[in-house]
Amino acid sequence: MKKLTLVLLMAVLAAVTALPQQTARKSVFGVSTGVSIPLDEFAVKVFTYDAGFSSPGPNLEAEYLYYGKIFGFSSSVSYASLFFNEKTYQAEYDRTLGGYGTNEVSAGNYQIIKALVGFTLKIPEFNHTEVMLLFHLGYAVAVHPNLLVNNSEFGVINSVDRNAGGGPVANMGLKINYWLNERYGVSLNGSVNGMSSGFIDETGPDGYFFMPMNHANVNVGFVMNLKAPRQ
């Protein structure tokens, strides 16, 4: 995914330098909220090395875009909280231990904070509607939740303290803006994020582990053209 993103970014940059833009540029601020959906290993709910046992959760995003008729630049900051699926995690311990003892699982939520910058590629506006592709790179800070597994016969059989990690993130998205007037509009956004993070696990054999945390966002919100006159 990262290689594909870099190729797309280079193509957009080359196009920006080659083609003029014959329209007034927009300076747009937007805020949106929606749901984050875990993907790939992050969503796996059976015992494997990279399984995240994550479930969809809410997110909030603020963004700034500056663009002309076709090309532009964009940046965003976002926060997501994805649930840890305690029920399926406990079911896996019940299965693995063959019903020996009673298992109890308690866990918090995964949390991800991302800062992204990149380019936009859009088709010319039609019927007050803009459709654009966004290509971003950035950095994410992720928080692994407290996790405790207790068995009535063995006692505590697994525990991970809440701790933070981080790493680079690649993001590709589709954004649709519908302008209600020259200044205000509504937006629909969808994006895919590729990232992984390292976490401390003092009870593990290596003392740490890496977790793929790929996820998708689907958001709705509002946008404001900062260059347009106030209504």
Asked if residue 114 is part of any domain, the answer here is: yes
Answer for the pair 211, 52: CB distance below 8 angstroms, yes or no.
yes
Number of domains observed in the structure of the chain: 1
CA 101 to CA 104: how far, in whole Å? 10
Give the position of tokens 């205000």: 184
CATH number where 84 lies: 2.40.160.20
pTM: 0.86
Model confidence pLDDT, tens digit, residues 97-129 = 998 999 999 999 999 999 999 999 999 999 999
Asked if residue 230 is part of any domain, the answer here is: no
The candidate with the shortest Cα–Cα distance to 147, out of 93, 194, 96, 195, is 93
Model confidence pLDDT, tens digit, residues 23-69 = 679 999 999 999 999 999 999 999 998 899 999 999 999 999 999 99
Asked if residue 20 is part of any domain, the answer here is: no
Whole domain around residue 174: which residue ranges?
A: 2-15+26-225
